[in-house]
Chains A and B, each alone.
Chain A
C-alpha cells in the first residue's frame, strides 16, 4: 500500500483517476483504517486529502457556510458561528463515536463511507447542504441526498472527491435539530436517526421544512411528504402528527440485531415528532439541548 498526500485537489483527482489498482481517499481514517485492518478493503494506494487547504477550512459569507469535507467533528464544535447557525448539524457530527473519533472523523468520510446509518448525513440533508465535487472532468455540485445511492454505493465516479459542503445562512426564524435512537447513551450506531430544518415567517407559519431519516432504508432519505405536512401550518400538534406519520410511511428498513422493521418504523415517527419540536423551539429562539 502506497501513501500520497497531494497539496492540490487536481493532483489528488489525477492520482485517484490514474491508479490501475484500488485507490482510496483518506480523510480521518476512522472508517477506512478499520476496514483495511479487518481486510474488508485492501487498497493499493491511499490518498490523504488533509494537505489540501480547501478540504480543511470553514468559510462564511452572506449566503452561508462552506465547510471543508475533511474538517473534523471536534473542529465543527469549536466554530461558534456554525454552531449558532446549524446546531443540529454540529451536534450530529459530534454524536459520531467518542471524543477520540471526533478528533479525526469528517463529514466527507461519514457520507462517503456509504453507511445508511451515518449520523451527520440526515442533518446535512435537512440543512439543504450541497456537496462540491471535483474530478477529472471538472467541478460539479450535488445535493447531499443525491450522493449516496445505496449501501456503500455513491454517485461519485472514478477520480471524484468531495471538497466541501455548503449550507445556507440560518434563516431569520429558522431552526434545525438531529436526534437518533441508540440502545445506550454513547458510542453506538443509530437504530434510527432524524434530521429536521424548518423556517417560520413572522407570524409563526412554517414556510419551509425538510426532514431526513437515517438507518431506515438503503440510504439516508429526504422525506418530502413530511416537509409538506408542516409547510403552511403553525407546526401545531396535528401538523407534527401528520409529518411523523409521513416519516414512518417512508421507512423501508431491515431487521437486524439493533432493531426490527416494525420497531424502526415506529421509532422513526417518535423521533420525527421530537426532532421537529426541537427544531421548532430553536426557530422560536429557545435553545434546546439534546443531552
Chain B
C-alpha cells in the first residue's frame, strides 16, 4: 500500500508529507516533522498532552490519523510564541510557576488558548472543566488555573 500524500497547514505554514494509515497525527508531528513540542502521555485520549487544534477545534492528536489532516489547518504549541515573544499564557505560566516537569504544559497551553479564543472571560469553574482532559502529575492544577485566569485578564485589557 502506497503512503498517503497529505497537504496540510501547520501553524500557518503549508506542509506536504507522506504517511502510513496507521500513523496518528501525533506520530506525524513528532517523528516526521520533528515538532516534538506536542507530547505523548498515554496515546489513548486520556491525558491531553498531545492537544492540538484542527480547524480551530481542540482535539487529541493521538486520536486522529495523520491522513485525516489532509486539507486541514493544524495548530500546535510551536505556533504560540511569535519569534522570541512569548504568548501571554506562556509568560503567565512562568510567572505563576505553573509547571514543574513540563510534560503536560504544551497540551495545557494549547487547550487554554483554545478556551480563551472562545471565551475570553471564563470563570474558574469553566477553566477547570475545560482543562479536565489535561492531566498534570506535578502541579496540583491550582497554579495552572491561576495562570490561565491571569493571562485571560491581561489579554482582555490588551
Name A's B-contacting residues (CB within 8 A): 1-3, 26, 28-30, 33-34, 36-38, 46, 48, 50, 72, 74, 97-101, 103-104, 185-187, 291
| B75 in contact (CB, < 8 A) | no
Check A48/B68 contact, CB under 8 A, given A98-B133, A100-B111. Answer: yes
Inter-chain contact A29/B63, CB cutoff 8 Å:
yes
Q: A99-B58, A101-B60 are in contact. Are A1 and B44 (CB under 8 A)?
A: no
**Contact yes or no, A187 B132, CB < 8 A:** yes
CB-based contact B68/A30 at 8 Å: no
Known: A3-B4, A3-B21. A37 touches B44 (CB 8 A): yes
Known: A26-B65, A100-B63. 16 other contacts (CB 8 A): A1-B21, A3-B21, A33-B63, A74-B57, A98-B133, A98-B134, A99-B111, A100-B51, A100-B111, A100-B133, A101-B60, A104-B60, A104-B63, A104-B64, A187-B132, A291-B129
Task: Give the complex CA separation of A100 and B22 in angstroms.
Answer: 20
29 A-B pairs with CB atoms under 8 Å apart are A2-B21, A29-B64, A29-B68, A30-B45, A30-B60, A34-B44, A34-B45, A37-B44, A46-B21, A46-B65, A48-B68, A50-B68, A98-B45, A98-B48, A99-B111, A99-B114, A99-B133, A100-B51, A100-B111, A103-B57, A103-B58, A104-B59, A104-B60, A104-B63, A104-B64, A185-B132, A186-B132, A187-B132, A187-B133
Indicate if B67 sits at the interface (CB-CB under 8 A).
yes
List CB contacts (< 8 Å) of B23-56 with chain A.
24, 43-46, 48, 51, 54
Set of chain B residues within 8 Å of A37, measured between Cβ atoms? 43-44
Rank and list the top 3 A-B pairs by shortest CB-CB distance, nearest first: A98-B133, A186-B132, A3-B21
State how many angstroms separate the Cβ of A176 from the closest Cβ of chain B.
22
Could you say which residues of chain A place their CB within 8 Å of the CB of B58?
Answer: 99-100, 103
- A101 near B22 with CB under 8 A, answer no
What residues of A have a CB within 8 angstroms of the CB of B4 in the complex?
3
How many angstroms between the C-alpha atoms of A232 and B37 in the bound complex? 61
- A185 nearest in chain B by CB position: B132
A187 to B128 Cα, complex, angstroms: 12
Show the binding face of B for A, using Cβ within 8 Å: 1, 4, 21-22, 24, 43-46, 48, 51, 54, 57-60, 62-65, 67-68, 111, 114-115, 129-134
Looking at the assembled complex, report how far the CB atom of B118 sits from the nearest CB atom of chain A, in whole angstroms: 10
* Docked CA distance A3–B22 (Å): 9
Taking a contact as CB atoms under 8 Å apart, the answer to whether B133 and A3 are in contact is no
The answer to whether B129 and A3 have CB atoms under 8 Å apart is no
- Give the chain A neighbours of B48 by CB distance below 8 A: 98, 100
Contact B129 A34 (CB under 8 A): no
Q: How far is the CB of A289 from chain B (nearest CB, A)?
A: 11
In chain A, what residue has the closest Cβ to B1? A2
> A101 and B24: CB pair below 8 A?
no
CB neighbours (8 Å) of B68 from chain A are 29, 48, 50
Inside 8 A of A3's CB, which chain B residues have their CB?
Answer: 4, 21, 65, 67
Q: How many Å lie between the Cα of A99 and that of B60 in the bound state?
A: 9
